[in-house]
Amino acid sequence: MMRPKRSHHCSRCGHCVRRMDHHCPWINNCVGEDNHWLFLQLCFYTQLLSSFTLILDFCHYYYFLPLKKTNWDFFVFRHELALIRISTFMGLVILGGISGLFYTQLMGIFTDTTSIEKMSNCCEEISSPRKPWQQTFSEVFGTRWKILWFIPFRQRQPLRVPYHFANHV
């Protein structure tokens, strides 16, 4: 059976995936052409919520710190400060890891290469002509409307690719 260009067979799933980037253990699925935009949204909103958690931890810590010094009896839970520190540590770890993952995914979209293509042939893709970043983002997110790229409550529609780009896909 003929395999489409830029598709790969996943040894974990047992499926062939078009524009396969990687197999993600967090979503237990391959990240490819059909769900790459959802994976980017997952990374984006995880960063946003981790940042929000860190802001809440910071506010909570500095709100309860003077209370601890003045009157210890007002603390309902004596381990609240330890839980805030654990939450801050986990927020920092998740924010750092997801930020790195999100950055590498965005750089892959900018260069129009997947992680598998970067690992398999690092030097051949440098000489190939590149598409504009707006077009590669539009292909991943399924719309040219930039305001809709990170809205999670929509359906992705495949773009109609012009004929001169269809031969290079």
Active site residues: 24
Rounded Cα distance between 81 and 75, Å, is: 10
Rounded Cα distance between 31 and 39, Å, is: 7
Long-range contacts of 104-111 (CB under 8 A, 24+ apart): 105/21, 105/36, 105/39, 105/40, 105/43, 106/40, 108/21, 109/133, 109/136, 109/137, 109/140, 110/136
Rounded Cα distance between 158 and 91, Å, is: 35
**Angle at the Cα of 156 (from 141 to 145), degrees rounded to 5?**
50
Strand ranges, E, within 39-112:
none
